Structure 1
């Protein structure tokens, strides 16, 4: 997946912290052994002395110098291991320490991301999406058809299949999905289902309700002291793999919000970065509320998914009250 620069740097800082921590741990172990294991430090220092001596022999043309060096180093290694064992320590006690021996805490193996880097990606994306707790409850595994029947059930099943297909292919196709329909029919839930699948497959997902997105942008727009933070926010908004804007239409309609909505849509379309937008507005209401150029961007570049049926939140509330 393509992490944003901010996200990549954040993960690499974790690896730097691991390397520093483990270097300190090894230094502490060496100090302990030198202090508590009699004779070990002298053997350790003799390795360097021996290497220098045999190196001079090799430079002077001694054909046996290398084999003698290997034999002596092997003996010194065995002697040091015996000292460690006698002190009740494992033979590898002073070996370099790594959280991940496979990549030696670099994040990469043969130029490819290590499995530990992959896991760090997923954990970071969950944290930054602000969806972790929600997605544990709202995902395809917890999805229920119990509140639908007849044509509404068939329509909802079709919508779910469309969402599954979108989750599998959006990063390859650069596709976008637009949920609209009546209140409480599962638009946010299905958005969360897709977000969960996307994060689990290692894609970066940023979620905002429309009101919180534009509130965040407006608070930072004229704060020049935090210009760097604002730049990071724009970078992430424009470049994350999937941007979810929930409840479009609940934000205040101002020239500022219209301008920034258009810019966000336009930038992501240019970069072929996928979006999910949900709204309770009907299409005529959407056209009336937003400028033609915004409405045109949405209708031309999004796949529409209309959801109708009972208000699921109200149905769940009634069931809870009966218990």
Structure 2
């Protein structure tokens, strides 16, 4: 699914604003250091003098000029780092600031063959615009590991939630090295969507592409594109994104009206992501028995065989919070 011209231009302009803002921040840091550390500015300016002098010497045939310049620059950098730390700054305080180190806030990376391709940060911007991912963005700002609380759980419910948190943290920690899928199930309002948001937020910060859909929203979009002859290209692009993103979150599985089409689409999605070794996270209020009865044996087998199952139980936290607020 391609971006419109206006959507593409909006992303590019956002990158331009980010680079300008970070440039100003870098310059402000430089001025702060110059004001704070005596002699630091002169030390920094000496680099230009050394570079010009070295270039002159190389033109005159001095074969040692380049090595001499390298050694002197290394000495200056070492002195700068030492001064920075002595005056309470980090050693890399004057390193150019950028939000994405991979593309330098340009949105594109250069491959070994010289071609350009969209950076992972650009792809997440695309996902945000194309699939209305504002819900997950809003959710992870409110609900993340830093706002996690155990106060609403007791007994076995608490032990299950603690295990789910540990599993979620391990999932994030090992995401780059181990292929794993998660299946959160259990009673309403026990933290399944909350933990999904925690995981999404951590992986987004690491630069991974994450697509979030409610089950009803996902299958509604698939149905609209599948049964509209004019939307075949849109369907292809949607499926490629669903199959290829680093993490696909399907929230509230079972709230959709299940039929043969949905069952087929769900299996295709799970199977293709399994073949591509792409992680999937599913949350549902269904029991395992209800999952087996509602969907095909293939889906039940795929989930119980290739997902880490995590059951959450307890009272509805949303209701508890409302009561406490009153």
Q: Do they superpose with TM above 0.5?
A: yes
Equivalent residues in 2 for 1:299-318, closer than 5 Å: 299-318=304-323
Equivalent residues in 2 for 1:1-323, closer than 5 Å: 107-108=108-109, 120=122, 129-130=133-134, 131-320=136-325, 322=326
Q: Any stretches of 5+ residues in structure 2 without a counterpart? A: 17-58, 61-99
Q: Take 2:282 and 2:15, find their aligned partners in 1: how far apart are those partners? A: 39
Q: Take 1:243 and 1:219, find their aligned partners in 2: how far apart are those partners? A: 20
- TM-score normalised over the length of structure 1: 0.64
| 1:316 shift after superposition | 1.0
- TM-score normalised over the length of structure 2: 0.64
Q: Take 1:284 and 1:110, find their aligned partners in 2: how far apart are those partners? A: 48
* 8 Å CA contact retained: 1:11, 1:121: no
Q: Any stretches of 5+ residues in structure 1 without a counterpart? A: 20-65, 68-99
* 8 Å CA contact retained: 1:174, 1:272: yes
How many equivalent residue pairs? 236
Question: 1:18 and 1:213, CA in 2 relative to 1: closer, same or farther beyond 3 A?
Answer: closer
**CA RMSD across the alignment:** 3.6
Residue 79 (structure 2) aligns with: none
Q: Take 1:17 and 1:315, find their aligned partners in 2: how far apart are those partners? A: 40
* 8 Å CA contact retained: 1:171, 1:274: no
Q: Take 2:191 and 2:166, find their aligned partners in 1: how far apart are those partners? A: 14
Q: Which has the larger radius of gyration?
A: 1
| 1:151 shift after superposition | 3.1
| 1:172 shift after superposition | 2.6
- SS, match of residue 289 in structure 2: helix
